[in-house]
Structure 1
Amino acid sequence: MAPLPPPPTQPGVGSKTFKAPPVDGSLSLPQIIDHHLAHSPLHPLFRYTSADAKHAPYEQILWKDAARAVHRAARLITSRASAAPSSAHDSPVIAFLANADLPTSWACTWGAIRAGYQAFQISPRNSTDAIVHLLAQTGATHLVLGDEPALRDAANASIQALQSNQAEIIPSVFEMPTFSDLYVEDSGDFVPLPAMDTPDLDKTAFILHTSGSTAFPKPIPLTHRNLLQTARNFCYGELDLCGEVISIHFLPFSHTAAPNVSNSSFADGHICAVSPPTEHRTVPTPEQVLQEVINTECTIIMNVPSNIEVWAANPDAVKALRKLKVVMYMGAGLHQEVGDALAATGVNLFVGYGATEFGMIATMFRRPLPPDEWNYFSISGHQRPYLRPVPGEPGSYELFVRSTESMTPVFLDAKVEGELMCATRDIIAEHPTKPGRYRYVRRADSLIVLSTGEKASTNPVLVEAIVRQHPTVGAAVVFGSGRPQSGILIEPAEGCQIDPTDLEALASYRNAIWEAIEKANQSASTHARIFKEMIVVADSSKPFALTDKGSVRRGITLDLYNSEIEAAYAAVESSSQTDIESPSVWDAVATAEFVRRAVVSVLGHEVQDNDDIFQHGGDSLQATWIRNTILHALRKSGVPVNNVPHNFVYAAPSISELTKYVLALAQASVDESGGTSSEREGRRTQELDDMVAKYTTNFPHHNPAPNARAPESEVVLLTGSTGALGTAILAGLVALPSVSRVYAFNRRAKDGALVEERQLKALREQGLDSGVIDSPKVMFIEGDVASPRLGLSETLFAEIRESVTLIINNAWRVDFNVMLPSFAPLIQGVRNLADLALASPHPNPPRLVFTSSISVVRSHDPLNHTDWKSTKPVPEDSLKDPAVAIGSGYSESKWVSERILQIAADETALRPVIVRVGQLSGAANGSWNQREWLPSLVRSGQVLGVLPQAEGMVSWVSLSIAAAAIIELRNSAQTTHNLVHPRPVSWASLFDAFAASLGVQLVPFPEWFSRLEGSFKLEESEIELTKRNPALALLDHFRSLVSARGRPGEEVFGMPRLEMAKTVGEAGSLREENLARLGGEDVERWLNYWRSTGFLQ
């Protein structure tokens, strides 16, 4: 095999401690370790903050110590492994599952490779199912474990699963060597391993894996050639990195960047700054990383954009960044405004663009560029890319990577112009005036991301191709990025043109191509379906802009038709599916058929008449379409609809219920009040009682295992860990020494985002320790509480059932529009979790903590309800009268769930803890979800120029305090608790501060609501208007508060006061010495957060 061509520069020339090794293929990387043992023994490889800062700010691991650690690791691993190492291509695979510090992981990995094994680093964040998959896929013969109990449990469960699946290879398990085993003081008795022969460079040496964003993680095998090529990456840059100190503090060795950066030090002599060796690795916070960067005197930092964005907000941190030679971000894009600001202050930003499969694309590293070019990179000299122009986007290219002597991609998965290449599936754009400089633009599949955050289609280009097959279609372009729904712009084929302003001709053309649109819709995600009203037909006087090859120039064409597209969006809210014919006679059969067609046409798939629309893909946009279609047909028939509630689709969320409702309207048998107040309340309370009865039959008995013993540690199943309160609870649980495992259970995201990504974002939004996601205590799992076995595999469900000691049911849908039936899956989940607890083999069932809501008493009337008397506060006790909760599906669902658990406590061994949580006022850093009612109300102040006054008190409590209290109450002997701020303050005290800071006036609540409601009537487009003033989306909720007057000294909006003596007695976090009253500082903290996100101006 021909040697690798030499890099353009020789690093370390003139260095007294580093002798550059040959990197032409004559030596493999494990042989280069021996080279440095002999020739660079005193050159540092690792640097970390010293435990004794007075003695020295940092400590270093020299190459001689690192190389000897590799030799020791090779001996230890060989002695513990049952399979002998081999030079063959199918040598045994040794998998590592540990949360070890980087120097230890590095030495163990290279020790295994040096001994002749394939080393496989498995992220400890993987679920048991993912670990099983990876072990089976790689045929691992050994599993090397860290000493964390959680990892041992995961390993045992994985081995058992492999045995149950009758896997061909069952790995043997042994303990991973520790830092103290490998890095020992030189006593003169070190004996190196025999010299190593140069291995076949195309033999697999090291295995990493993908993150598993679409399915199970995928192994990525790296040969000795791949590793050597990667080690040369930095030798193609503009800087000699020998002796430079590069921060990789936040990286575990299972993350591709850690081995890539440390491998490069073999060739160029840079020093890797890492976190100090500890028994159990934790991910440092952004603040801790920057402090360690300073302590270890780093000159270059490699980090993720989210950390850099945190530092950018701190002037002292910016000063520290400005002193560094390079600040590199990787893994995602850096916010444009943040990058612009940092670059303007003199921070040398650098984009690290590359991947495990094809190495670094960007030159590593370069000298500073002008500030306005911080997000551009040049392509490294060791790469030979193929840039395929993107039709219609001058200067934009899809990037492919060729195989060369200097870089061999792991996967050659695309054939371009007869040559196999690696498809990056990325679009990059060349600088308009400086050829050879590029910036990353987007993924090549051109996913359209709606304003909801959901991806509009798996591939809009595919949708366009399907539609173009219709003989009357000449060209098509899908649009919709940043909008509530997608649409399609059609240029009719020659001879089929129409006048799009002729409504009859437009309707006829849409009908003619509808079959093709429906076929295309089948390839799109449910929320991305194109409705007939969103077909925009081109005018023949404005032809599409085309390339020389005849392809549509997308950007230019969409700009050309911008006004037509805007008109389509403006009309969509008031439009309806007018092609669905209204019944000639509004009888039961005709009405049911009409409603069925209206619903199915919007959803895009069949549903049963009794199915809940919102449990079968329905969302607020589709509810709007169904509502408008029904109202259009009723108006056409002369039925008055002025007083029909805005949310009637939510109130009747199935075809059968909508049919009854519409039939009653059409036949004028529903009066405006729907019966007397007592009659309406009677129907609703009976519905709640019926639902309680449905979910409280046949509770299982708790049968402990023979000789069962109480668990020594706590194992927690936490649902909804990525929500605001769930995130704070998760962080609190991880910090408890008594907790050995937390199963962080969440539903799968509609947009496919990984649960770990969602959790990391939530932690950072609240300013909490992002290292929580890498804690060996935490296992992230995705499922559905309403499904059998919670939607989990038998193996994982059994693991949870056998081990869990505490269940915290925190996940719930916060939607005040939908009615009680739409919460049925969550209520089923409450029953399923109760059954799970009762199936435990432990002596006592796990405690089940349910985060309820004070809204269960939203309709309280202390004089008329039987649960408490007169005007006393709501007791810390069960509320058996359903009338207290009537008013919204949300409050009713919480009351039903409370009753289910209270009845379970009466009839079984289950001992639930119900915590009625009040209004949560965001995190300690001011983070408060802007979709909630209070932020939306505050935002209305900037739109309307006024904020509302209200009488009464508020008892809001922060996320951190609420989470701490819930954790403190987990073993309470009392079933029911009320959780609000025990020392409320007046609404006026907070809103005086809001108004002063925003520069707006305060007006009485009814006047504010009148202005809000009036602004709704000024515009036709509901979606666009609510985007500007989100309070309009909660119009019905605010309307209900107009008449709900508070009184001085009482809770605002007529909410009852709550007893808290028992709760405060058990939850120390709520006591006066630990909890200050809300005030102006809190208001400023919330406002500053909303301003920082752009929610407020």
Structure 2
Amino acid sequence: MADSEVFTNGDRPLYGQRLLPHILREVSKSDPQKPWALVFETSDIFKGFRTVNVRDISNAVNATAWWMHNQLGRSDHFETVAYIGISDIRYEIVHLASINCGYKLLCISVRNSDSGYLSLLEATKCTKFVCSSELLAKGKHIKDLVPNLQLVQLPSFDEMLSGNIADYPYDKTFAEAENDPVLICHTSGSTGAPKPITLTNGNWAVIDNLRKIPKTPGRKNQDWSLFNYENRGCFLSSFPPFHATGMIAMALPLLYNSVIVVPPPDRPATGESCLEIMHVLERHHRTLRGLLVPPTVLEQLVQEPDGLQQTSKLDFVMFTGGPLAPSVGDRLSKVTDICQLIGSTETGPLPGLVPERKNWSYFEWQPFYKIDMEAWADDAFELHPENPRLWRFHGRTDDVVVLSNGEKFNPVTMEAIVQGHPLLTGALYYGQVTETPQNVSNLEAPEDLEAVEEYVRSSLSGHLPQEPTSDGEDLFTLGLDSLQTLEFTNKLKAGLSSHLEVQGMKDITAKQVYANPSIRSLSRFLYGLLNPECGSPDMMANDDTKREAHAKARQNIAFTSVNAKHDANDARLVYLQVDLSQERFGLQPEVFSDLLADTDVIIHNAWKVDFNHTIESFEPQIAGVRRIVNSSQDSCRNPHIMFVSSVSSVGNWAAVYGAHKAVPESPLEDYSVAQSQGYGESKHVSERILQIAAERCGTQVTILRVGQIAGPLHGGGSWNKSEWLPSLVRTSKELGLIPDSLPDVDWVPDEVKAKPAVKILDFFDGIAQAGDRQPVYETAKGVALSKSMAELPSVSGEWMRTWLKQWDF
């Protein structure tokens, strides 16, 4: 039977009677460029993503099917083939290729114990095992447990695309193949050995058929059909593919009109990484419509500076696997819909209705299904006090604790072990609405680097599926997941609590474990906390590389937050994270030497903005100006220093000399003209340092006294919402009142003032007199020589409308 006959009935697809291989083959012919996935391939999210289309998937599936055929043979009786790999799209490719070759695929979690692996392989009669190159050591370890296991290494995705892409035959009809077993997922093993659960083609047909459930007037159905977006919207899933939800998410772009966003495979997804992905997608004009994540990711996301703002742009957030903290749900429900899925691996999520936002924590079952709550014996629910259609998860009736990252944990065994200690009379583990099971421990803390490394090594024991072979090995490559990261972090904090102040304890976070992913790098980070007077020993060449990546990431976030169109990944840019209060700006000697040798201009626009501090608290900033002067003098190029000062450096002029006399646009030696607060005084002192450097040492200096820089009028970028005018407009809107008077203010739009730094330099070169080390840049002279400034009109209603749009009014 031809593919088109299997796939459609006339012009309408036969939803609920389609087989995945047939859908892929048909779509690869009819719409080969249809995006399937946006894949972030490395942990440096700001490097961007790779777009994978249906043709790519089809070619990879065919190549992998032929590869399996040659390596393992074709199965005529649905043999089990196991796969373990990093969390990338190859899981779905291997799944579809396995169907073509007659196998059922066992997706094994990297988190299983040895006994768990043995139990699953024995229960599924599995003798063939495929692993990715990244987890080859894990595959060899499992083969050592099962000597007769045939182990083969899967090609990379790029190798798949270069393989044999001729169609691999799969000619079964839906009637013939509906009950064929095609996938084996397994339970977490929280109540014993992990249990394999076999899914058939019919299970995928049910997901395909959800779009046909009748609609309730005024409501949206809550099931996988929510991902049937108009215009192929994107959704981000952070569930690992060996999880049933993760496998379904990978297949949704084939069944529904959506594109999956795949996070980096070498790190568990966090709220921070999801936010970075949202920023990158926004910069590339990709519309992210939904999140499919465990509760813990949402709980982290709302703690990020603009997490709620970005979430407000989504159609919905969807979580499953555990409870969401009520305080987090209450905040999220104010900006987007919240969907929580509940069900089982065998049945999939139970269809429901997207809850009204005020009832986000309740389930409202799909009326069409007529669900009887009395049949639910494993989990306890409570009825809404006023609405009989709403039910809320209240707790399990067994011993299992469900954590907010979706993991399940049976505390009974651990309680028995802990309370067996002769100094304890009892033990209790708890974990509901937390990310890790909680207990109390107090370890001896180390006091030297070797001891720190040994402490980290011992604290890590039991958290990894396989032990590292060296202290420099990446822990996440070895299978450390988000739950284990949190458990490990908490253990580290518990053991060091008596040796660190409160702030030091706050610095030990999962984020730092992600940033220091080896025993060696993490030990050096902890050593620096424990011994602040000595500093961290991790001052090696690769540290500058890490700081460069961090600086680039911050710049990308800054550009994205104001909708700027600049590219922070431009190959011509070099990022150095510096500390001006340190000698050589805190850089390695060779890096600092290169900086002096290559720099022509230094634009100093970094200052602590705090109007409550005294001038003494700005001493590091002032000292930084002096160090910049020193570096200019030490350089053979004698770079030009451009210092972005502030009008507050002369803010007290009227009180000293009278309002009738204009502030001269020239250096001022009278300290009393500075505004009477530390910020303005520190800027004035720094101006004086630079003036003296110009007079005595010949340093080229430019001082820019900046007041209000307005937002741009065209292109990318926006006016910072936290500045005084946007804040005044927002306050006026809330109060329903506007000020009856405002002082005269001259506003210069951002693109006129900075278009960008190179344009400023051209302007200054034109205005400076030959041989003058410190020319005076007066407004009158600027207007005479700058066409942009000369033609700058008054603030108009059109300008204000542009800025109001930037402020989201």
TM-score (norm 1): 0.38
Q: Which residue of 2 aligns with 1:295?
A: 280
Match of 1:230 among 207, 220, 241: 207
Q: Which amino acid aligns with 1:113?
A: I
Q: Residue 37 and residue 21 in structure 1: after superposition, are their counterparts in 2 closer, same or farther (change >3 A)? A: farther
SS at match of 1:180: helix
Q: Which residue of 1 aligns with 2:304?
A: 314
Identity of aligned residues (%): 19
Alignment of 1:884-1033 (within 5 A): 919-921=499-501, 926=506, 967=523, 980-981=530-531, 983=533
Q: Residue 94 and residue 375 in structure 1: after superposition, are their counterparts in 2 closer, same or farther (change >3 A)? A: same
- Counterpart CA distance in 2 for 1:54 and 1:964 is 24
SS at match of 2:13: coil
Native 8 Å contact 1:456 1:525 kept in 2: no
- Counterpart CA distance in 2 for 1:182 and 1:721 is 36
Q: Which residue of 1 aligns with 2:458?
A: 719
Alignment of 1:548-563 (within 5 A): none
Alignment of 1:315-714 (within 5 A): 315-344=305-334, 346-363=335-352, 366=354, 369=356, 371-380=357-366, 383=369, 385-388=371-374, 399=376, 425-445=378-398, 615=421, 618-619=424-425
Native 8 Å contact 2:241 2:250 kept in 1: no
- Counterpart CA distance in 2 for 1:52 and 1:928 is 20
Q: Which amino acid aligns with 1:48?
A: V
Q: For the aligned residues, what is the CA RMSD? A: 5.1
Match of 2:487 among 750, 762, 770: 762
Native 8 Å contact 1:209 1:220 kept in 2: yes
- Counterpart CA distance in 2 for 1:925 and 1:430 is 41
Shift of 1:39: 3.3
Alignment of 1:96-245 (within 5 A): 96-101=83-88, 103-148=89-134, 151-163=135-147, 170-183=148-161, 190-198=165-173, 199-233=176-210, 236=213, 238=221, 239=226, 240-245=228-233
Shift of 1:316: 0.9
Native 8 Å contact 2:456 2:523 kept in 1: no
Q: Residue 47 and residue 764 in structure 1: after superposition, are their counterparts in 2 closer, same or farther (change >3 A)? A: farther
Native 8 Å contact 2:466 2:478 kept in 1: no
- Counterpart CA distance in 1 for 2:108 and 2:16 is 30
- Counterpart CA distance in 2 for 1:109 and 1:322 is 35
Shift of 1:321: 0.2
Match of 1:92 among 58, 79, 84: 79
- Counterpart CA distance in 2 for 1:758 and 1:47 is 25
Shift of 1:325: 0.5
Cα-to-partner distance string for 1:717-758 (whole Å, 9 max, x where unaligned): 933338xxx99x9999899645689999xxxxxxxxxx9786
Match of 2:243 among 255, 267, 288: 255
Q: Which residue of 2 aligns with 1:274?
A: 262
Q: Which amino acid aligns with 1:194?
A: P
Q: Residue 221 and residue 761 in structure 1: after superposition, are their counterparts in 2 closer, same or farther (change >3 A)? A: same
Native 8 Å contact 1:96 1:144 kept in 2: yes
Shift of 1:256: 1.4
Q: Which amino acid aligns with 2:499?
A: Q
Q: Residue 429 and residue 40 in structure 1: after superposition, are their counterparts in 2 closer, same or farther (change >3 A)? A: farther
Q: Which residue of 2 aligns with 1:45?
A: 36
Q: Which residue of 2 aligns with 1:889?
A: none
Cα-to-partner distance string for 1:37-95 (whole Å, 9 max, x where unaligned): 233433222123599999996543222322222122111111111x4321x3xx22111
Stretches of structure 2 that go unaligned for 5 or more consecutive residues are 1-7, 214-219, 282-286, 403-407, 429-452, 510-514, 536-585, 587-616, 618-809
- Counterpart CA distance in 1 for 2:485 and 2:99 is 33
Cα-to-partner distance string for 1:971-996 (whole Å, 9 max, x where unaligned): xxxxxx999536399xxxxxxxxxxx
Q: Which amino acid aligns with 1:981?
A: N
Shift of 1:616: 5.4
Q: Which amino acid aligns with 1:327?
A: V
Shift of 1:117: 0.9
Native 8 Å contact 2:82 2:105 kept in 1: yes
- Counterpart CA distance in 2 for 1:323 and 1:333 is 23
Q: Which residue of 1 aligns with 2:449?
A: none
Q: Residue 348 and residue 113 in structure 1: after superposition, are their counterparts in 2 closer, same or farther (change >3 A)? A: same
- Counterpart CA distance in 2 for 1:273 and 1:330 is 18
Deviates more, 1:328-337 or 1:261-270: 261-270
Q: Which residue of 2 aligns with 1:23?
A: 15
Q: Residue 982 and residue 387 in structure 1: after superposition, are their counterparts in 2 closer, same or farther (change >3 A)? A: closer
Q: Residue 440 and residue 243 in structure 1: after superposition, are their counterparts in 2 closer, same or farther (change >3 A)? A: farther
Shift of 1:267: 2.8
Shift of 1:304: 1.5
Shift of 1:34: 1.9
- Counterpart CA distance in 2 for 1:214 and 1:144 is 28
Q: Residue 445 and residue 715 in structure 1: after superposition, are their counterparts in 2 closer, same or farther (change >3 A)? A: closer
Cα-to-partner distance string for 1:256-284 (whole Å, 9 max, x where unaligned): 111122333333222211136xxx64323
SS at match of 1:206: strand
- Counterpart CA distance in 1 for 2:260 and 2:522 is 42
Shift of 1:332: 1.2
Native 8 Å contact 2:317 2:339 kept in 1: yes
Shift of 1:206: 0.5
Cα-to-partner distance string for 1:87-133 (whole Å, 9 max, x where unaligned): x3xx22111021151x2221111111122111111122323332222
Native 8 Å contact 1:49 1:295 kept in 2: no
TM-score (norm 2): 0.50
Alignment of 1:861-872 (within 5 A): none
Q: Residue 343 and residue 205 in structure 1: after superposition, are their counterparts in 2 closer, same or farther (change >3 A)? A: same
- Counterpart CA distance in 1 for 2:246 and 2:274 is 15
Native 8 Å contact 2:190 2:410 kept in 1: no
Q: Which residue of 1 aligns with 2:66?
A: 75
Q: Which amino acid aligns with 1:432?
A: P
- Counterpart CA distance in 1 for 2:40 and 2:165 is 27
SS at match of 2:379: strand
- Counterpart CA distance in 2 for 1:926 and 1:434 is 43
Cα-to-partner distance string for 1:652-672 (whole Å, 9 max, x where unaligned): xxxxxxxxxxxxxxxxxxxxx
- Counterpart CA distance in 2 for 1:126 and 1:981 is 37
- Counterpart CA distance in 1 for 2:506 and 2:414 is 35
- Counterpart CA distance in 1 for 2:129 and 2:409 is 42
Stretches of structure 1 that go unaligned for 5 or more consecutive residues are 1-9, 14-18, 164-169, 389-397, 400-422, 450-454, 459-523, 529-602, 604-611, 623-713, 745-754, 767-809, 815-852, 854-916, 930-958, 971-976, 986-1067, 1069-1080, 1082-1097
Alignment of 1:821-832 (within 5 A): none
Native 8 Å contact 1:244 1:300 kept in 2: no
- Counterpart CA distance in 2 for 1:193 and 1:334 is 44
Q: Residue 353 and residue 741 in structure 1: after superposition, are their counterparts in 2 closer, same or farther (change >3 A)? A: closer
Q: Which amino acid aligns with 1:286?
A: G
SS at match of 1:615: coil
Native 8 Å contact 1:734 1:742 kept in 2: no
Alignment of 1:714-863 (within 5 A): 718-721=457-460, 737-738=472-473, 759-762=484-487
